[in-house]
Chain A
Amino acid sequence: MDTQGANASPPARTFRLGDFLRDQLRNIAPFITLLFLVIFFSLASPSFATLDNLENILQQVSVTAIIAVGLTFVILTAEIDLSVAAVANATAIVLTFFTLQPDYVNIANLPMAGPIAIILTLFACCGLGLITAFGVTRIGIPSFIMTLAMMQIGAGISAVLVRGQIAYSVPSLILTLGSKSIGGVPWIIIVAAIFLLVAHLVLTYTRFGRYVYMVGGNREAAEYSGVNVRFIVGAVMVISAMCSGVAGMLGVAYFGSAQQNEFDTFLLDAIAAVVVGGTSLFGGRGGIGNTIVGLFVLGVLNNGLDYVKIDSFLKILIRGVILLIALIVNIYAERLRTARTAGKGA
């Protein structure tokens, strides 16, 4: 009865390589980039492709990974969180505020028992996330601007609490997870892996995860389907703040100290990991699998550049160029898809 419908079916059945590649560009491109980088650095330096160095890489990206988990949720809903690094930093410093510091550290200090300090700190970063969520969903401030403000607030909390000093002590649980190993595997890698795994399961197998994708895919349609879009957007902002907070706490232990501006590079790294991995900046496409590939690309790049003789200042430029290329691929992947949809759809 409906001839148009009949015409639309063949492409769904027959396999076309061109269409497949176009659809999968966002997934394939990061993988090829990773492969290329690994081959390049392996040829450039014999000590690059070793098991020890793999552990190095994993350890180096772990803090970024935990931040990137939260950011993946945010970007999937087509929002952005620029406050991740500042929230991580603030949370790290709040944790040291609640932990007894050595005498020679002259900062504000309100010592608590370890578990209580951790719980209070988690409440604090959850609070920051709730403020962001409120600003974005209730007041209607675009997340780009709201989290820019939260970035400054996070930096402010850090500044006020440490006053240019450096804090060292954290509760023993955090010290273990951030800097110790079990059976030769650093705990921080295990924690990052658990975060990635749980996030993947949530996004793939839960109702909440489906809503995250649908809100990102078409916010209006989600709303007209009775999905509570505000709740979903608010929730991902809180998830992002919590992930950043955990990353910040472990980061203190990993780095051995907490100070102002310690996490500044993590904002760009975390966004880069998510976007380089191929999660769409327009929301609705991508996921934790993409973020993992993105983390590897970033980790291999940062680590590999140490193995080849290169001006360390040039590394910053190279990372910027890689990010730009990833953004271009991201946008093109989206455009190719929509062009195909427009060609065939209604």
Chain B
Amino acid sequence: MASALLELTGVSKSFGGVQALRDVDFTLLAGEIHGLAGENGAGKSTLMKIIAGAHGADEGQMKINGQPVRFRSSRDALAAGIGMVHQELSVAPELSVAENVFLGAQPVNRLGIVAWRDMARAAAEQLKNLGLDIDPRARLGDFPIGVQQLVELSRVLFSGARIIILDEPTSALSPPEIERLFSVLSKVKASGRSIVFISHFLDDILKISDEITIFRNGRKVATTPVTAAIDKAWIIERMIGLGREELEESYLGEIRLDSRPEAPVVLATKGLTLAPAYREVSFEARAGEVLGVYGFMGCGQLELARTLFGRLRADHGVMEIAGRPMTLANTTAGKRAGIAYVAESRRAMLFSEEPVFKNVSIAILERLSRWLLKPDRERVIAQAQVKSLDIRPPHIEARLGGLSGGNQQKVALAKWLTHPPRILLLAEPTRGMDVGAKEDVVKIVRALRDQGIAVIVFSTEPETVLSLADRVLVMRKGEIAHEFASEAISKDRLLAAA
């Protein structure tokens, strides 16, 4: 039996009243790969940030090789041999491969000058050990993302890390790249180091991990060695919980999707591609239907949404609105084509220094007049929207930045509703909202759908998609992987498809 390299006992952490971790024990053995699974917000990232020194725990103890440790920063953690590779790589694409391997720790000669030749040689050797035979003097940005990731991994290894935390390492990788990553990880493991592997991709976790820990709502619900009896369904069951303590219990059961294949197609895409975000996306959205697009973070859905509004330009592929091919030069063209877009971040949608009424009217000013503003009309319209969406406080002159998140989200919706669009694109419409505000948004979206608007909801949260959609597309790594229409759907089936 291998010895425990890292041991955490009774760790708890809360952020402003929200309990992110409750009394969690976690043990990492020397020379093992330990997979972590759990939904967004289940606590796995918080735990890893505590281990990597980015957060301090409220309670609990951490031991490395039996010695109690306490980190004040990620520098402390790195000094103790803990390194992390984030989903968003922190490489310098303009620098050479070798410089990236040695970033922040370039070898220097006696005069304090960087020893370029030594550096290149050491980097090449280091990378070869990982099975990567590339020119260390080449610009890193010219290599595919999988190579960049391995270079970052080798930097963490080279800095002397014995424990390596990988956050969503496979989300941007193609199958052969995943194979290569896994063979590298096996080599790292064989050298006696330990790896924590966090991922939404359960097949990947099952394939590479020796042991799996599953989180739910800030608690550790299971730790088990990976055996033949452990499969994807087993993990999903524990991730979403069979008990009834969860808030959104209704989504644990089956939901009947009610798509409307007879309704007219308002928006259609054929082979839409924007490398590297998404590829060959073809789908149809119908009038009076809410189409959900679900996928993990980074699966390309947000880029797709922005392309549909004219904010990004696709490399190739066709987009048709009401049967007519359209190329949107900018968001103004998108708006003119009858498309409305509510971005995933309220900061990107709203003018926090301006009063509510100006935020409501900004998207429809050209409909009110050609040249001169009509502030009275703006106020009347804003007042009507504030009333119908129950925005609080109901003052149209109030500075938007003073409103709560849920009310700001309603304002972001309100600006498109005075002249309802043909197509409404909603990115993460209920992110970070309390239950009441979520229900309000669901009601508003249903009402818009019933007016005949084609609504498309883009989300990484299964609950959001399940509560709103009549039909669901699942995106995985830039491609549409599955479609659920007119059938029973449940959270576990949705997760299994992604």
Query: Is chain B found bound to chain A in the same assembly?
Result: yes
Give the residues in chain B near A210, CB-CB below 8 Å: 358, 362, 365, 373
A38 to B358 CA separation, bound complex (whole angstroms) = 38
* Partner-contacting stretch, out of B3-11, B222-230, B328-336, B463-471: B328-336
B350 at the interface (CB under 8 A from A): yes
Give the residues in chain B near A7, CB-CB below 8 Å: 404
Assess the B353–A206 pair: CB atoms within 8 A: no
A5 at the interface (CB under 8 A from B): yes
B182 at the interface (CB under 8 A from A): no
Instruction: Give the residues from 319 to 360 in chain B that come closer than 8 angstroms, CB to CB, to chain A.
Output: 330-332, 334-336, 341, 343, 346-354, 358
A225 to B336 CA separation, bound complex (whole angstroms) = 11
Give the residues in chain A near B248, CB-CB below 8 Å: none
A5 to B371 CA separation, bound complex (whole angstroms) = 35
A221 at the interface (CB under 8 A from B): yes
Instruction: Give the residues from 364 to 422 in chain B that come closer than 8 angstroms, CB to CB, to chain A.
Output: 365-366, 369-373, 390-393, 395, 398-399, 401-408, 415
Assess the B371–A207 pair: CB atoms within 8 A: yes
Give the residues in chain B near A103, CB-CB below 8 Å: none
Nearest-neighbour CB distance to chain A for B110, whole angstroms, equals 41
Nearest-neighbour CB distance to chain A for B310, whole angstroms, equals 9
A214 to B360 CA separation, bound complex (whole angstroms) = 12
* Partner-contacting stretch, out of A185-193, A226-234, A309-317: A226-234
A14 at the interface (CB under 8 A from B): no
A227 to B415 CA separation, bound complex (whole angstroms) = 13
A15 at the interface (CB under 8 A from B): no
Among the interface residues A206, A225, A230, which one has the most CB atoms of the partner chain B within 10 A?
A: A225
A345 to B400 CA separation, bound complex (whole angstroms) = 8
Q: Which residue of A lies closest to B309 (CB)?
A: A224
B257 at the interface (CB under 8 A from A): no
Assess the A2–B392 pair: CB atoms within 8 A: yes
A337 to B351 CA separation, bound complex (whole angstroms) = 13
A335 to B399 CA separation, bound complex (whole angstroms) = 17
Assess the B354–A5 pair: CB atoms within 8 A: no
- Per-residue B-contact encoding for A328-346, CB less than 8 Å = 1, 0 else: 0000000001000100111
Assess the A1–B395 pair: CB atoms within 8 A: no
A4 to B406 CA separation, bound complex (whole angstroms) = 9
A297 to B292 CA separation, bound complex (whole angstroms) = 58
Assess the B348–A345 pair: CB atoms within 8 A: no
A12 to B373 CA separation, bound complex (whole angstroms) = 25
Assess the A2–B434 pair: CB atoms within 8 A: yes
Assess the A285–B399 pair: CB atoms within 8 A: no
Q: Which residue of A lies closest to B391 (CB)?
A: A5
B16 at the interface (CB under 8 A from A): no
A9 at the interface (CB under 8 A from B): yes
Assess the A345–B436 pair: CB atoms within 8 A: no
A7 to B372 CA separation, bound complex (whole angstroms) = 36
Among the interface residues A5, A6, A207, A285, which one has the most CB atoms of the partner chain B within 10 A?
A: A5
A2-B437, A284-B353 in contact; A12/B332 too (CB < 8 A)? no
A11 to B350 CA separation, bound complex (whole angstroms) = 20
Give the residues in chain B near A214, CB-CB below 8 Å: 351, 354, 358, 362
Nearest-neighbour CB distance to chain B for A296, whole angstroms, equals 26
Nearest-neighbour CB distance to chain B for A314, whole angstroms, equals 39
A205 at the interface (CB under 8 A from B): yes
Assess the A226–B434 pair: CB atoms within 8 A: no
Assess the B311–A224 pair: CB atoms within 8 A: yes
A166 to B393 CA separation, bound complex (whole angstroms) = 65
B363 at the interface (CB under 8 A from A): yes
Give the number of residues in A that approach B within 8 Å (Cβ atoms).
Answer: 39
Assess the B362–A4 pair: CB atoms within 8 A: no
A8 at the interface (CB under 8 A from B): yes
Give the tally of cross-chain contacts (CB within 8 A): 132
Nearest-neighbour CB distance to chain B for A227, whole angstroms, equals 7
Nearest-neighbour CB distance to chain B for A27, whole angstroms, equals 14
Assess the A206–B371 pair: CB atoms within 8 A: yes
A221-B349, A223-B311, A341-B352 in contact; A9/B415 too (CB < 8 A)? no
Give the residues in chain B near A222, CB-CB below 8 Å: 362
Identify which of A205, A223, A341 contacts B373 (C-beta below 8 A).
A205
Assess the A224–B395 pair: CB atoms within 8 A: no
Among the interface residues A4, A221, A231, which one has the most CB atoms of the partner chain B within 10 A?
A: A221
Assess the A344–B362 pair: CB atoms within 8 A: no
Assess the A206–B373 pair: CB atoms within 8 A: yes
A220 at the interface (CB under 8 A from B): yes
Give the residues in chain A near B366, CB-CB below 8 Å: 207
Give the residues in chain B near A285, CB-CB below 8 Å: 353
Assess the B311–A2 pair: CB atoms within 8 A: no
Q: Which residue of B lies closest to A219 (CB)?
A: B348
Nearest-neighbour CB distance to chain B for A207, whole angstroms, equals 5
Assess the A217–B373 pair: CB atoms within 8 A: no
Assess the B351–A5 pair: CB atoms within 8 A: no
A172 at the interface (CB under 8 A from B): no
Q: Which residue of B lies closest to A5 (CB)?
A: B392
Assess the A345–B393 pair: CB atoms within 8 A: no
Instruction: Give the residues from 1 to 38 in chain A that come closer than 8 angstroms, CB to CB, to chain B.
Output: 1-2, 4-9, 11-12
A227 to B371 CA separation, bound complex (whole angstroms) = 15
Identify which of B331, B370, B395, B434 contacts A9 (C-beta below 8 A).
B395
Assess the B353–A341 pair: CB atoms within 8 A: yes
Instruction: Give the residues from 198 to 253 in chain A that come closer than 8 angstroms, CB to CB, to chain B.
Output: 205-211, 213-214, 217-218, 220-228, 230-231
Assess the A344–B407 pair: CB atoms within 8 A: no
Identify which of A220, A226, A284 contacts B335 (C-beta below 8 A).
A226
Give the residues in chain B near A221, CB-CB below 8 Å: 347-351, 362
Identify which of A205, A209, A213, A341 contacts B401 (C-beta below 8 A).
A341
Give the residues in chain B near A346, CB-CB below 8 Å: 346, 403-405, 408
Q: Which residue of A lies closest to B330 (CB)?
A: A228
A8-B393, A9-B398, A206-B372 in contact; A217/B353 too (CB < 8 A)? yes
Give the residues in chain B near A2, CB-CB below 8 Å: 392, 404, 406-407, 434, 436-437
Q: Kindly list the 8 A-B residue pairs having the minimum CB-CB distance in the complex, ordered from nearest.
A: A226-B335, A5-B392, A4-B404, A9-B393, A346-B405, A341-B401, A228-B332, A345-B401
- Beyond known contacts A1-B440, A4-B434, A231-B332: 5 more, CB 8 A cutoff: A4-B406, A8-B403, A8-B407, A346-B405, A346-B408
Can you give 7 A-B contacts (C-beta < 8 A)? A8-B392, A8-B393, A12-B398, A213-B354, A226-B336, A228-B330, A345-B402
